[in-house]
Every structure is written in structure tokens, then in C-alpha cells.
């Protein structure tokens, strides 16, 4: 069912041509919304859930932002299809587990998805590559206002937008940015950063795996608090924390390069060699190798034009994507072979690493 | 009780359920018989009214009025167990239980963000419209025809206004 979505040559996360950012992979904003007169999904009857699903699918599908979008009934998708959508951040794991009467609408370039009957009636998400908090929020705000004209949303002047879980009350807004932080990890500063931003109500999670040395050095950083601040205050506060993290990351990279030049270039060089010759590769190891390749673009060892390839491979090397491409649910061992074949092929087209301008400003 | 709660002290099955209020924040405590005894919560001597009013007072569950949402059927115990509300109406019913929990969770206790003006105006007009229709029905029942005619005009005006707020069905 999701064939056209995966084959699409316009998907934001895997096909973006916009100029990439050295530290930020992508920006996401989500809003939690509920209809005022129907119990939240968990307490709704199955008839009420189906009503919400068809009503919201109709209204949202009709919005101009959703033109030529696709609607999927979750109960109609296979486990593998759901996994692929999770890996693309288009649906949540929680939605996959949901019973009858849940769905998702995804727009053409996969920048917007609306989950229906997840924990709340609606979970709206906008996503863009790079560091784009303000513009993604603006898109979201417009979409939300258009939606408000069509549906009666649950709202109270005290608690704001009403949500099943009190942690989402108020704005219902969660903004998160996916950051590549190899410098902070290698220089063992990540734990300190996590603790410091936690104090500011900001959460850090490993994207692939937990803890301060997440696989692939990719972290998802988001606001925890939704009530008591306006949307723009939340965005501004998160944005300024993220800018600080970006500065720290860039400094850590250059400091490490200065002090451990041979060691770092060796690590990147070996990773490149592995990727061109590998025949068996686990998902974790692939993420770590790709992390070094992203760093090599930042250090001018690979052309800037290859950044989007590396970012695409972060997604396409996930277990679901590897299996989906093989047209069947294949065993982990065969997956590791398929993943290696894919990366070997992709990296055979890249120019050799250029060690002449390492770390010079672009 | 459908799912057995575990003693928060030793993990045995809890039979004593308490709500502890510390600095105005509600903490739920479930204890087994023996731990409850050790803590003196079943001993009337060790559990005085003075303690109840002090900052670490334990309030037996039974004294906490069990509330039920008339719209979705959620009960106090459901909210305590899952931490989730069941519908919009729940916020009126369980508001006093939700508020203390927000203090540790958020920057502030009241909404400062976007207000869905259009949806609110529409909801208010619809509520107003229903009220007018109810009055019209009773005016007709009471054969107050002059009053009924006035109400009919008001209803018509409001319906036109509401129609402008509604976007045509997709
Ligand atoms: Zn015990
Ligand atoms: Zn309720």
C-alpha cells in the first residue's frame, strides 16, 4: 500500500535538495489536538473511533496542504509497512499498536503527517530537513488554523488545548530537532550537555538507541513543557538552547581535529574503506560508519552534494527499509548482507576522500 | 480491583491505598498489610488528625471522594492509575486532581498560547442556538406566541451567522 510513498522522488527526508546543515539533520513540530464532543481515543467506543477517523480523514484530506496526499488505515497495513513509516518518522510506534479505527494522512512530499486516533484524536506533524524551527512552526500554525475552521477542537482557557495526557496540555506543541553530535560524544561531553539541558525542561534522546553514546551519534532534542508558555516562547527557548549545542558541537569537532588529527582522519578513512568493501553489516555499525561519513562532508573530505546521500542512507539502512526493498521479511543475517550490498554499491560512486582541505571553512 | 497494585515499599500485593499530599502535591502510595503496619498508617494512635493536617499527612483513599466523569465514565482510580484523562468534560470533573500535577510538569499553570477563536465562537453560538431553540419550544408549549415569534427571528439571525462560520463539508 505504501509503495508510491517509498518510491517517491520528492520525499523531504530522503530526497531533499535544500542546503544541509552540519549539525542538524531535521526539524519536526507536532501538535496534539482533540475534538471537543467525543471521548479521547482510549475512552471512545469503536463506533466513535470510526466516526472520528472518517470525519477527520475527510476534512484534513480536503485541506490544500494535503493535496494529493495519501490516507492509510493502520489496520490495513502490514507490520513491515508500519515499520517503514515509523523509520521515516511519519507515524509513531504507539499508532502501530492501536486497535481498529486509527489512521494517518501523509502529504505528497512527506513533510506533513496527521495521525488519527493515536493517544489524542489528532497528532499533526510537520517535518523539514535542516534547522528550521521558525518556518516549520509557521507552516504548522497555518495548518492548525485552517483545521480549526473545520473541526470543533477541545479547548479551555485555563488548560489550553485539552489532551489525554496532562504532559501535553496548553499548546500541545512538541518541537524536536535531530542533531548529529559526534564531537560532543567523542570528547565525552554529551552527558554534561544532557544534564544541563534537562534543567531547562529540554529532553535529549538517542535516535537509534538510548543514552549518551547513541548509535550514529544522532540525538533527538525537544521541549518537554507545553503549558505556561506561548508557542513562540517555546520555539524561541528551544532554538536558543539548540544554537548553544551547535556551537559546542562545532568547537568540540575542531578541538578534537586539532588534537587528534591523525587519529580522526584514520577513523574516517577506514570507515570509507569499509563502506566500499563491506559484505556483511549490522544496522548499528552502519549508523556509526554513516556518522563518520557525515562528518567527512563537514570537514570537506567529501563534496557537499553527498550530504543528502548520507542522510538518505541513515533512513534507508534501517531494518524495515532494508526488508521492504528486498520485497519480503528477510532474516537478520540476510538483512546484514543486503545492507552491505546497498552501501557498497552507493559508496562505489563516490569520489575518493580528499584530505587536502580538511576542516577549512567552506 | 482488576489489576493488583504492588506495594511501593516491598512489591507485595498492596491492600492499603493512600494518597499522600506533600506541599500541595498529590502522591499516590500503595502499601501491603505489613508495610502499612510498620509505617503506622493502620494504627489510629500513629495516624492522628494532626498528622493529616501536617505537611506529610497521609490521607486514606476512602476519604478522597471518588469522582466519575458523566461524559466518558472515567473514575478517580482510573486517572490515578493511568495519569490520563478520558474526554474534555474530565477536566471539569478532575480539575482539582490535575492542577497539582502540573506544577512539576510545566513552566506555568495556565495556557498562554494560541486560542482557537473561530472554533470557540462557533461552539458558543451553537450552545446559544440550542438554548434559544429550547426557549422556543417552551414558549410554544406555553402558547406564548409573541415570544415565540421573537425567538424565531433570533434563531434565524444566529443560524445565518453560524452558517458563515461553518465551512462547507468536503
Ligand atoms: Zn510491603
Ligand atoms: Zn471524561
pLDDT bracket for residue B34 (50, 70, 90): confident
| Residue B20 confidence (pLDDT) above 80 | no
How many CA atoms within 13 Å lie on the side-chain side of B103?
11
Q: Residue A291, Cα to own-chain centre: how many angstroms?
A: 15
Gap from B149 CA to chain A (nearest CA, Å): 30
More confident residue, B51 or A49: A49
Question: Long-range CB contacts (< 8 A, 24+ apart) of B74-77?
Answer: B74/A43, B77/B1
CA A72-A76-A81 angle, 5° bins:
75
d(CA A142, CA A159): 22
At residue B49, the pLDDT reads 32
Domain layout of chain B by residue ranges: 1-56, 60-112, 117-169
The architecture (CATH level 2) of B1-56 comes to: 2-Layer Sandwich (3.30)
pLDDT, position A209: 55
The answer to whether the CB atoms of B86 and A40 lie below 8 A apart is yes
The pLDDT value given to residue A329: 66
What spacing in Å lies between the alpha carbon of B56 and ligand 1's midpoint?
A: 19
Summarised one tens digit per residue, pLDDT across range A140-169 is: 999 999 999 889 999 999 999 999 999 999
Angle (nearest 5°) at CA B27 between B24 and B31:
140
Residue B23 has pLDDT above 70, yes or no: no
Most confident of the ranges A258-272, A322-336, B55-69: A258-272
Over residues A241-266, the mean pLDDT reads: 96
Q: Please report which ligand is nearest the Cα atom of B32.
A: 1
Rounded to an integer, the average pLDDT of A231-259 is: 96
**Has residue A14 got a pLDDT over 80?**
no
CA of B81 to the centre of ligand 2 (A): 15
> What is the average pLDDT score of chain A?
92
Rounded to 5°, the CA angle A164-A170-A173 comes to 85
Confidence of residue B125 (pLDDT cuts 50, 70, 90): confident
Please say if the pLDDT value at position A203 is more than 50.
Answer: yes
pLDDT confidence of A228, banded at 50, 70, 90?
very high
Q: B98: nearest CA in chain A?
A: A166
Cβ–Cβ gap A43/B72 under 8 Å: yes
The grid cell for B2 is 482488576
Residue A346 has pLDDT above 90, yes or no: yes
How far, CA to CA in Å, does A301 sit from each of A15, A182, A305, A352, B136? 22, 16, 12, 8, 79
pLDDT at res. B21: 46
User: What share of chain B has pLDDT > 90, as a percent?
Assistant: 41
Q: Coil, strand, or helix at residue A173?
A: strand
Lowest mean pLDDT among A218-232, A282-296, B62-76: B62-76
pLDDT at B59 over 50: no
Predicted ipTM? Answer: 0.87
Numbers of helices and strands, H then E, in chain A = 14, 10
Distance (angstroms) between ligand 1 centre and the Cα of A47 equals: 43
Question: Tell me: the pLDDT tens digits for A254-313?
Answer: 999 999 999 999 999 999 999 999 999 999 999 999 999 999 999 999 999 999 999 999
Establish how many alpha carbons lie within 13 A of residue B131's alpha carbon, considering only the half-sphere containing its beta carbon.
7
Contact indicator for B159, B129 with CB cutoff of 8 Å: yes
pLDDT tens digits for B102-123? 998 999 999 999 999 888 887 7
Tens of pLDDT, residues A96-140: 998 789 999 999 999 999 999 999 999 999 999 999 999 999 999
CB pairs under 8 A between A and B: 127
Q: Which residues of A129-144 are buried (b: 16+ CB within 10 A; e: fewer)?
A: bbbbbeebbebbbebb
Task: Name chain B contacts of A228, Cβ cutoff 8 Å.
Answer: 106-112
**Among the ranges given (A42-56, A320-334, A336-350, B69-83), the one the predictor scored with the smallest mean pLDDT:** A320-334
Band of residue A206 on the pLDDT scale cut at 50, 70, 90: confident
Average pLDDT over residues A191-212: 84
Which range of A119-123, A200-204, A331-335 scores highest in mean pLDDT? It is A119-123
Is the Cβ pair B119, A148 closer than 8 Å?
A: yes
Picking from B131, B6, A79, the residue whose alpha carbon sits closest to that of residue B17 is: B6
Least confident of A238-242, B50-54, B73-77: B50-54
Residues with Cβ within 5 Å of ion ligand 1?
B 7, 9-10, 12, 32, 35
- The pLDDT, as a whole number, for residue A67 is 86
Residue A20 has pLDDT above 90, yes or no: no
Amino acid at each position: 500500500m505504501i509503495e508510491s510513498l517509498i518510491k517517491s522522488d520528492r520525499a523531504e527526508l530522503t530526497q531533499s535538495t535544500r542546503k544541509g546543515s552540519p549539525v542538524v539533520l531535521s526539524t519536526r513540530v507536532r501538535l496534539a489536538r482533540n475534538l471537543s464532543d467525543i471521548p479521547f481515543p482510549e475512552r471512545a467506543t469503536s463506533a466513535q473511533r470510526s466516526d472520528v477517523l472518517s470525519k477527520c480523514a475527510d476534512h484534513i484530506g480536503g485541506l490544500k496542504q494535503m493535496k494529493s496526499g495519501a490516507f492509510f488505515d493502520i489496520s490495513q497495513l502490514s507490520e513491515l509497512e508500519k515499520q517503514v513509516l515509523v523509520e521515516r518518522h511519519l507515524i509513531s510506534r504507539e499508532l502501530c499498536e492501536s486497535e481498529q479505527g486509527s489512521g494517518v494522512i501523509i502529504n505528497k512530499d512527506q513533510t506533513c503527517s496527521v495521525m488519527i486516533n493515536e493517544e489524542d484524536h489528532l497528532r499533526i506533524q510537520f517535518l523539514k530537513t535542516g534547522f528550521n524551527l521558525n518556518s516549520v512552526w509557521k507552516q504548522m500554525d497555518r495548518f492548525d488554523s485552517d483545521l480549526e475552521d473545520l473541526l470543533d477542537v477541545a479547548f479551555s482557557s485555563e488548560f489550553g488545548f485539552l489532551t489525554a495526557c496532562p504532559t501535553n496540555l496548553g499548546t500541545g506543541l512538541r518541537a524536536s530537532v535531530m542533531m548529529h553530535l559526534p564531537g560532543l560524544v567523542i570528547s565525552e561531553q554529551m552527558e554534561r550537555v544532557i544534564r544541563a539541558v534537562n534543567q531547562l525542561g529540554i529532553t535529549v534522546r538517542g535516535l537509534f538507541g538510548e543514552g549518551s553514546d547513541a548509535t550514529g551519534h544522532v540525538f533527538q532534542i525537544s521541549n518537554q513543557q507545553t503549558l505556561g508558555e506561548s508557542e513562540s516562547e517555546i520555539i524561541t527557548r528551544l532554538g536558543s538552547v539548540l544554537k548553544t549545542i551547535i556551537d559546542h558541537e562545532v568547537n568540540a569537532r575542531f578541538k578534537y581535529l586539532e588534537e587528534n588529527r591523525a587519529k580522526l582522519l584514520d577513523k574516517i578513512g577506514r570507515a570509507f574503506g569499509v563502506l566500499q568493501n563491506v559484505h556483511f553489516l549490522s544496522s548499528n555499525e552502519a549508523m556509526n560508519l554513516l556518522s563518520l561519513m557525515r562528518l567527512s562532508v563537514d570537514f570537506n573530505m567529501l563534496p557537499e552534494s553527498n550530504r543528502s546521500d548520507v542522510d538518505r542512507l541513515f533512513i534507508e539502512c534501517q531494518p524495515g527499509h532494508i526488508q521492504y526493498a528486498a520485497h519480503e521479511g528477510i532474516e537478520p543475517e540476510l538483512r546484514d548482507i543486503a545492507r552491505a550490498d546497498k552501501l557498497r554499491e552507493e559508496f562505489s560512486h563516490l569520489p575518493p576522500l580528499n584530505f587536502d582541505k580538511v576542516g577549512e571553512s567552506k | 480491583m482488576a489489576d493488583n497494585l504492588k506495594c511501593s515499599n516491598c512489591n507485595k500485593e498492596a491492600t492499603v491505598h493512600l494518597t499522600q499530599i506533600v506541599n500541595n502535591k498529590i502522591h499516590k502510595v500503595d502499601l501491603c498489610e505489613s508495610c502499612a503496619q510498620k509505617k503506622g498508617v493502620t494504627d489510629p494512635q500513629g495516624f492522628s488528625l494532626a498528622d493529616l493536617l501536617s505537611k506529610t499527612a497521609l490521607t486514606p483513599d476512602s476519604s478522597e471522594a471518588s469522582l466519575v466523569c458523566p461524559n466518558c465514565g472515567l473514575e478517580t482510580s482510573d486517572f490515578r492509575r493511568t495519569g490520563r484523562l478520558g474526554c474534555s468534560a474530565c477536566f471539569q470533573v478532575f480539575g482539582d486532581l490535575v492542577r497539582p500535577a502540573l506544577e512539576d510538569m510545566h513552566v506555568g499553570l495556565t495556557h498562554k498560547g494560541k486560542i482557537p477563536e473561530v472554533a470557540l465562537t462557533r461552539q458558543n453560538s451553537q450552545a446559544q442556538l440550542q438554548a434559544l431553540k429550547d426557549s422556543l419550544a417552551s414558549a410554544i408549549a406555553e402558547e406564548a406566541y409573541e415570544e415565540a415569534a421573537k425567538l424565531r427571528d433570533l434563531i434565524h439571525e444566529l443560524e445565518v451567522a453560524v452558517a458563515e462560520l461553518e465551512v462547507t463539508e468536503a
